[in-house]
A and B are shown apart, each in its own frame.
Chain A
Amino acid sequence: MTKQRDSGFASTTTRRRLLLGAAAGGAALAAPPIIRVRSASVRSVRWWYFFDDPNAAPDALVSEFQKLHPDIRIDAERIPNNGGADYATRLYSALLAGQGPDVAMMKIANLSRLLEMEALLPIDSYLASWPGRGDIAEQHWKLAAAPDGKAYILPVQYVVLYLYIRQDWLDAAKMAPPKTLDEMLEVARAMTGKDRWGIGVRGGAGGQDFWASVVMGEVPWEKGAFVKPAAVAANDWYLDLFRKYKVTPPSTPGDGFQQTINNLKAGRTGMTIHHIGSASGVVESLGNRITAVPLPGGPRGAWATYGDGGQSIFAKCKDPDAAWAWISWLSAGEPNAAFNRLTGQVPVATSMAKNWTEVPKRFVDATVNSLPIARILPNLSQTADFVRTVWPQATQKAFLGQISSAEMMGAFEKLYFS
C-alpha cells in the first residue's frame, strides 16, 4: 500500500518535472532577444565533403577557421562517396530538392551536368583579387576550366594517376621502369608467373582511368573518333592484357579498387595504377620494395587521369562571400597542407607541395612529374554516364568475349556522338 502511494508520489513528481521541463522548453523556444540577435549575426555555410579515410575528420580545420572568422559558422556534412557515384547523385538530388549545400567538394567530371542545371556560381570575381591564385600551378586552372570559359572550381587537392611497380621484381628481371606501353607489357609478361600477375587492372568501377591512358590518346575529339582503326587497335591492346597475354589476374573483369590494391600489397601483382592517396598503405605492406613512376605513354604521348580536385560554390548559396572565405582559406598555405594531410593527397599550393613529406618522396615525385601529362575525360554531360555504367558494362563484356573491341568502342561512340 505504502509502495503504491510512493509510486503515486513519484509519478506526480515526474509529471510536475515534465510540466516544468515543457515550460522551460517553451521559454527557450520563445528565445530571449539577445540570443536571437546573436544567432542572426552568425553567417552559416553548409559544406559537403568526402574523404576516403573514414577516420579523417575536418573538425580541427573548421574550429581553426571559425576562430579566425567568428562571424562565420561552417556546418560540415560528410557525404558517402562510393567512388564518386553516390556523392554525385546525392548532390544532384539535394540541389533539385532545394536542400543542397552552399559549397561542396566536387569532381571535375560533374562540372558539365551542374552547369546544365545552372547550379554553380562563377568565382572569377573572387579569383581576380585572391592572393593565393599564383601559388596554384597553371595546369590545375586549365584542367578545372569550364566549357563556357568561366571558373567554377577552386582546386584544393590534386591526384594524378601513376604506376605502382615492384622495384624488387624489376631488379630480379633486370628491367627498368617502363616508359612506353609496349615496355610496360614486356615488364608485365616478365613479372607474370605462378599465382602472380604483371599488372592489376580494374574491370569494374574506376577502371576507365587506366583505359583512358591507353586509348584516349588515339581519340581525336570528333564524330567517329572512337571507332577509328587506331582507337580500336589501342582498345584491343588494352583488352589483350587480360584476353591474350593474361598478365592480369583472372578476376580482372570484376575487380575494383580494393581487389587491385590488395593484390599489389599481397604480392599477387607487380604493378597497378592508382594515386598517392594509397601510398601510405602500400608502403606499410611493401616498404622499399614498391615505387611509383608516371604512366607510360602510347604512340601519341602519355595521359594520366587527373581528378578529385576542387570545391564549388552553388548558385543558391545565401552568403557567397562567407563560402568563398572558407574554400579560399582551405586552398592556400598551411590550411591547404592540413587539409591534404586528412585526404592523403598533395596540396595544390605549390609552396606547400614542394616539401611535402607526408609520404616517401618517390611517390610525391611520381605525382608531381605526372602533372604535365594530367588529362581529364571530356568535360561533357555524358561523361558521368560513361564512368558509372557505360564503360564498366561494355568493358566487362569485352573482357569476357561477349562483344568485340569495335563493339565496345561503338558503345562509347553512341553515347558521345549519337
Chain B
Amino acid sequence: MKRSATPLLMLAPALTATGILVFFPVLNTLWLSLHNVVLFRPKSQPFVGLANYVEALHSQAFWDSLGRSVVWVVGSVSLQFLIGLGVALLLNRDFRMRGLVRAIIVVPWALPSVIIGLVWTWMLDFNFGILNQIGVAFGLLDEPVAWLAQSGTAMAAVMAAIVWQGFPFFAITLLAGLQSIPHDLYEGAEIDGANAWYTFVYVTVPGLLPVMVTALLLRMIWVANSLDLILVMTGGGPGTSTQTLPLHAFLTAWSGGNYGSGAALSTLLTLILLSVITIYVVRGQVDG
C-alpha cells in the first residue's frame, strides 16, 4: 500500500502543475467555446451549446484560414525539412571548422520569432529592404517588389522567414540521427557496389526514418500553432492573405473581444491537430 502510494506522491507536484497550467486552461477554453463570451459584455455570457462551432463551420473565413493553414504547414515544413536534410548531410562530412559551422547553423532557431519577424519585415521592405536592393542591383528584379503588400507574394514571404527560422531544427535533429546509423551498413553497401544514391535510399533513409517522422510531426504541430511570425510581419494581411487558422482564432478573441468564438476556433484547431497525432501514435503502436 505504502509502495503504491510513493510514486503518486512523487508525481503529485508535476501533476498539480500540469493540472493548473494545462488542464484548467483547456477546460476553461471548452467552457468558453460553449458560451457567448464577449469581452465588453461581462454581464451576459449565456450558454449557447455548439452554436459557436456551427457558426465557425458555416463561416467562409474559417475554411479560408484553414486552407491557408494547410499551405502554410505543408509548404514551410517540407521546405524546412529538405533544407535541413541537405545541411545535415553536409555537416555529417568531415571538414575544417565543422564544429563552428554547426554552432552557427543553430542561430536562426535560437532567435525569438518576434525578432525574426521584424528583421524579415525590414529586409523585405519595399522602400528600404535589402532584398529589393540586391535584387535590383543584380538585375534579378526590374523594380522593387512590395512583397508583404501583395496577396500573391505575402504568404511566400512569410514562409521564407519561417523556413529560415526552422531548418536548423531539422539539420541538428537529422544530424544526430545520421550519426546513430552504424558505419558497418555504409561499408557493406560500398562492398556491394551501391552508388551514393542507392546508399542514401537504402541505408540512410531507413536509418533516419524514425527520427524524420518524429521531427516532422513535432515541427508540423509547432508550425500549425504558430502565429507570432505572421502577426509581426503582416498581421494576417494584406486583406486576409496570410490569416491562418490560429491567427483567425487569436484575432477573433484578442482584437474582436469575442472569446466564445475564438475558443471554438481554437478547439477546432486542436481537434484537427489531435487527429494527426492520433494517426502517428496508432501507427507507432502497430509498428511496435
Per-residue 0/1 for A357-398: is the Cβ within 8 Å of any B Cβ (1 yes, 0 no)? 000000000000000000000000100110011001110110
CB-CB under 8 A for A389 and B251, given A250-B126, A254-B149, A259-B127:
yes
A203 within 8 A of B: yes
Contacts of B144 in A (CB 8 A): 250
User: Distance (Å) between the CB of B155 and the closest chain A CB?
Assistant: 13
Q: A114 CA to B257 CA in the complex, in Å?
A: 13
Q: Is A402 an interface residue (CB 8 A)?
A: yes
Report A-chain residues with C-beta under 8 Å of the C-beta of B254: 89
Question: In whole Å, how far is A74's beta carbon from the nearest beta carbon of chain B?
Answer: 27
Q: Is A205 an interface residue (CB 8 A)?
A: yes
B125 touches A381 (CB 8 A): no
Per the CB 8 Å criterion, the residue count for chain A at the interface is 38
CB-based contact B149/A203 at 8 Å: yes
Scan A23-34; emit 1 where CB is below 8 A from any B CB, else 0.
Answer: 000000000000
Question: Nearest chain B CB to A316's CB is how many angstroms away?
Answer: 12
**Which residues of chain B are within 8 angstroms of A113 by Cβ–Cβ distance?**
40
- Is A309 at the interface (CB under 8 A from chain B)? no
Known contacts A92-B39, A254-B148: does B238 contact A205 (CB below 8 Å)? no
Residues of A within 8 A of B135 (CB): none
What separation, in Å, do the CA atoms of A394 and B238 have in the docked complex? Answer: 9
Does A254 contact B39, Cβ atoms closer than 8 Å? no
| Given known A250-B126, A266-B127, A402-B151, contact A388–B237 (CB-CB < 8 A) | no
Give min CB distance, B215 to chain A, whole Å.
33
Which of A251, A389, A402 is B146 in contact with, Cβ under 8 Å? A251
B239–A249 touching, CB < 8 Å: no
Contact B40 A254 (CB under 8 A): no
Tell whether A350 is near chain B: CB-to-CB under 8 Å.
no
Contact A388 B255 (CB under 8 A): yes
Given contacts A254-B148, A396-B239, A400-B150, whether A89 and B127 have CB atoms under 8 Å apart is no
Q: Does B86 contact A (CB under 8 A)?
A: no
CB pair A263–B127 under 8 Å, yes or no, is: yes
Q: For the complex, is A204 an interface residue (Cβ under 8 Å from B)?
A: yes
Q: Is A351 an interface residue (CB 8 A)?
A: no
Q: Is B75 an interface residue (CB 8 A)?
A: no
Contact flags (1/0) for B239-263 with A, using CB distance below 8 Å? 1100000000001001111000000
Known A89-B255, A89-B257; contact A204-B125, beta-carbon cutoff 8 A: no
Residues of A within 8 A of B165 (CB): none
Q: Quick check: is B288 within 8 A (CB to CB) of the other chain?
A: no
- Which one, B41, B149, B235, B256, contacts A252 given CB within 8 A? B149
- The answer, yes or no, to whether A262 is at the interface (CB within 8 Å) is yes
Cα(A234)–Cα(B257), bound, Å: 31
Determine whether the beta carbon of B237 is less than 8 Å from that of A92: no
Let me know if A268 is at the binding interface, CB within 8 A: yes
Complex Cα spacing A252 to B150, Å = 10
Is B99 located at the chain interface by the 8 A CB criterion? no
Give per-residue flags for A165-209: 1 if the beta carbon is below 8 A from chain B beta carbons, else 0.
000000000000000000000000000000000000001110000
Q: What interface size band does chain B fall in?
A: 20 to 34
Residue of A nearest to B254 (CB): A89
Contact with B along A234-259 (1 / 0, CB 8 A): 00000000000000011111110001
Q: Shortest Cβ distance from A326 into chain B, in angstroms?
A: 26
Question: Is A325 among interface residues, defined by CB-CB distance under 8 A?
Answer: no
- Alpha-carbon gap, A203 to B234, bound state (A): 12
Complex interface: chain B residues within 8 A of A255 (CB):
149
Instruction: Flag whether B47 is at the interface (Cβ < 8 A).
Output: no
Given A203-B149, A381-B40, is A254 in contact with B255 using a C-beta cutoff of 8 Å?
A: no
* B251 closest partner in A (C-beta): A389
Q: Are A397 and B256 in contact (CB under 8 A)?
A: no
Question: Once the chains bind, are B125 and A259 in contact (CB under 8 Å)?
Answer: yes
Is there contact, CB below 8 Å, between A251 and B151? no
27 contacts between A and B (CB under 8 A): A89-B255, A89-B257, A92-B39, A92-B40, A96-B42, A116-B41, A117-B40, A117-B41, A118-B43, A203-B237, A250-B145, A250-B146, A251-B126, A253-B238, A254-B146, A254-B234, A254-B237, A254-B238, A263-B127, A268-B127, A388-B256, A389-B251, A396-B239, A399-B238, A400-B150, A400-B239, A402-B239
Q: Give me the 7 closest cross-chain CB pairs, A-B, nearest first.
A: A254-B149, A251-B126, A397-B239, A251-B146, A396-B238, A253-B238, A113-B40
Q: A residues engaging B (CB < 8 A)?
A: 85, 89, 92-93, 96, 113-114, 116-118, 203-205, 249-255, 259, 262-263, 266, 268, 381, 384-385, 388-389, 392-394, 396-397, 399-400, 402
Using A93-B39, A250-B144, A397-B238 as known contacts, list a sample of 10 further A-B pairs with CB atoms less than 8 Å apart, ordered by residue number in A: A89-B255, A117-B41, A253-B146, A253-B149, A254-B146, A254-B237, A266-B128, A388-B256, A389-B251, A396-B239
